[in-house]
């Protein structure tokens, strides 16, 4: 990896670009309307929607044109599009992006949230309708003081998300099956939501197609697939299995002892109240090889935040086939998704790096490194769910 250009974290790039100017470059509220036209970001229940069907300039249904850049340099362009009338909804919760100075963010739609939704959730529009409420997440400033040091702020964030979920469930779901998608703080909030609302309810468990919880430290008994964090929701163990959880944290090697991810009872675990350190592992399900072994990752990166080799890529997305493999590893009290750069000598395509240091690993790119795999996984899970509910 030495000597080749790195791919900066998509979210980090937005924060660096806006920084203290976030308040000045805030997103505008869409024009209101109903019945097939654009809808307001704020609905009658008070939920502010980052993404929802019918929303004007919805970042979760943005242009998905993608350039494939293989090692050979023979580029191709594909034009996938959001699915028409999909039978499944995706409920997406974005990671920590707010640079507001308070402990909890307000509900204004800012460029950072828009970028996160575009980068992480938009590809899933190929297989589902994406819903994403704004929530009063803990800000970067708050989390810099410690992930477990402010349960009050964590509670504010969770109750805000719960209000968005309740609004969606009561007024918009109409009995449709749901895929849950979250990353980092978003995954931690979904851990709380799933463990308190979905896991105990046979009816809601029966409506869950799957959950993608990246960088959230879902815990399972050592050697097990269910228990600890969730009592009834198992880890996925085969391709096309529905009703299960895909969870992982990406690293180039064993997470260090002070890692925020991949080690139980510390780091992001504390944000969802998971304090157990004995008898449990952090879950790892490889999105590139759910049944086990090693698989080829299919990354999708927004062109605006990556550095593809010349000539310039003109599509909003770029993918690098054959550049990474992934497999789940467990050692020394840690469990992680081992991501290896397998490029041959002379391959000048950009690669990810540990932007925030070894304790973070490839956390900023957890979703983008496997976007193509995850969309394919969810598509197979939806078909399995539909077959089981005919």
* Structural domain contains residue 13: yes
**Residue 93, in any domain of the structure:** yes
Q: Which of 192, 213, 169 is nearest to 274 (CA)?
A: 192
pLDDT at 196: 97
> What integer is the mean pLDDT of 36-64?
87
pLDDT tens readout for residues 353-367: 999 999 999 999 999
Q: What is the pLDDT of residue 246?
A: 98
Predicted local confidence at residue 44, as pLDDT: 83
Q: Write down the residue that tokens 């139980």 correspond to.
A: 264
pLDDT digit string, tens, across residues 169-221: 999 999 999 999 999 999 999 999 999 999 999 999 999 999 999 999 999 99
What pLDDT does residue 14 have? Answer: 35
322, part of any domain: yes
pLDDT value of residue 28: 29
Nearest to 7 by CA among 290, 333, 349: 349
Taking residues 291-295, report their average pLDDT.
Answer: 96
pLDDT band at 305 (very low <50, low <70, confident <90, very high): confident
Q: What is the per-residue pLDDT for 73?
A: 85
Predicted pLDDT of residue 139? 97
In a domain, 117, yes or no: yes
pLDDT tens profile 254-279: 999 999 999 999 999 999 999 999 99
Q: What is the mean pLDDT of residues 280-309?
A: 93
- End-to-end Cα spacing for the chain: 49
Cβ-contact 209, 219 below 8 angstroms: no
* Nearest residue to 180 (alpha-carbon basis) of 272, 284, 90: 90
The whole-chain average pLDDT of the chain stands at: 90
Sheet of 295-296, strands arranged across:
250-251, 334-341, 324-331, 295-296
Q: Is residue 1 part of a domain?
A: no
Strand partners, 5: none
277 is written with which tokens? 């350190």
Whether the predicted pLDDT of 34 surpasses 80: no
Distance between CA atoms of 178 and 172, rounded to whole angstroms? 12
Tokens read off for 120? 């992480």
**Residue 27: pLDDT above 70?**
no
Q: Are strands 301-302 and 317-319 parallel, antiparallel or unpaired?
A: antiparallel
pLDDT of 31 higher than 70? no
Q: What percent of the chain has pLDDT over 70?
A: 90
Residue 24 has pLDDT above 60, yes or no: no
For residues 351 and 28, what is the distance between their CA atoms, to the nearest angstrom? 34
In terms of phi and psi (left: phi > 0; alpha: psi -120 to 50; beta: otherwise), the region of 89 is: beta
- Look at residues 242, 246, 255, 184 and name the one whose alpha carbon lies nearest to residue 386: 242
Q: Phi and psi of 118, rounded to 5°? A: -60, -45
In angstroms, the Cα distances linking 173 to 129, 211, 251, 293 are 11, 17, 36, 36
Is 247 within 8 Å of 234 (Cβ atoms)? no
pLDDT at 30: 32
Q: What is the pLDDT of residues 142-162, one digit of tens each?
A: 999 988 889 999 999 999 999
pLDDT in tens, 80-99: 999 999 999 999 999 999 99
- Give residue 39's pLDDT: 58
Measured between alpha carbons, how far is residue 359 from residues 73, 355, 380, 390 in Å? 34, 10, 33, 46
Q: Are strands 76-78 and 66-68 parallel, antiparallel or unpaired?
A: antiparallel
CB 303, CB 317: distance < 8 Å: yes
- The pair phi, psi for residue 126, each rounded to 5°, is -65, -20
Closest residue by Cα to residue 370 from 319, 336, 334, 328: 319
Number of domains comprising the chain? 1
pLDDT band at residue 1 using 50, 70 and 90 as cut-offs: very low
Contact between 367 and 214 under an 8 Å Cβ cutoff? The reply is yes
Characterise 362 by phi-psi region: left (phi > 0), alpha (psi -120 to 50), beta (else).
Answer: alpha
For residue 360, give its domain range.
Answer: 6-388
């Amino acid at each position: 990896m030495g000597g080749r250009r790195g791919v900066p974290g998509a979210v980090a790039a937005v924060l660096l670009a806006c920084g203290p100017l976030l308040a000045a470059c805030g997103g505008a509220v869409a024009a209101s309307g109903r019945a097939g036209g654009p809808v307001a970001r704020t609905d009658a229940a008070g939920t502010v929607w980052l993404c929802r069907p019918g929303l004007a300039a919805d970042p979760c249904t943005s242009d998905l044109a993608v350039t494939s850049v293989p090692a050979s340099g023979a580029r191709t362009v594909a034009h996938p599009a959001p699915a028409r009338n999909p039978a499944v909804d995706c409920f997406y919760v974005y990671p920590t992006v707010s640079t507001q100075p308070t402990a909890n963010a307000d509900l204004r739609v800012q460029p950072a949230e828009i970028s996160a939704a575009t980068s992480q959730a938009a590809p899933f529009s190929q297989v589902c309708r994406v819903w994403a409420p704004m929530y009063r997440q803990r800000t970067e400033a708050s989390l810099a003081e410690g992930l477990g040091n402010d349960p009050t702020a964590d509670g504010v964030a969770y109750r805000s998300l719960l209000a968005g979920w309740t609004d969606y469930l009561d007024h918009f779901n109409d009995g449709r099956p749901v895929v849950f998608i979250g990353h980092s703080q978003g995954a931690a909030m979904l851990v709380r939501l799933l463990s308190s609302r979905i896991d105990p309810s046979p009816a809601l468990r029966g409506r869950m197609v799957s959950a993608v919880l990246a960088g959230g430290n879902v815990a399972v008994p050592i050697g097990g697939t269910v228990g600890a964090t969730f009592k009834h929701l198992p880890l996925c163990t085969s391709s096309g299995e529905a009703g299960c959880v895909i969870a992982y944290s990406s690293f180039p090697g064993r997470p260090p002892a002070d890692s925020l991810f991949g080690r139980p009872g510390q780091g992001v675990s504390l944000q969802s109240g998971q304090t157990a350190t004995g008898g449990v592992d952090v879950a790892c399900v490889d999105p590139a090889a759910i049944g086990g072994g090693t698989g080829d990752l299919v990354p999708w990166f927004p062109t605006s935040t990556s550095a593809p080799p010349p000539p310039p890529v003109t599509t909003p997305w770029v993918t690098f086939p054959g550049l990474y493999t992934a497999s789940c590893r467990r050692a020394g009290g840690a469990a992680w998704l081992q991501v290896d750069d397998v490029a041959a000598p002379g391959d000048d395509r950009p690669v990810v790096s540990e932007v925030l240091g070894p304790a973070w690993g490839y956390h900023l790119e957890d979703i983008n490194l496997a976007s193509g795999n995850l969309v394919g996984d969810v598509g197979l899970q939806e078909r399995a769910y539909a077959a089981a509910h005919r």
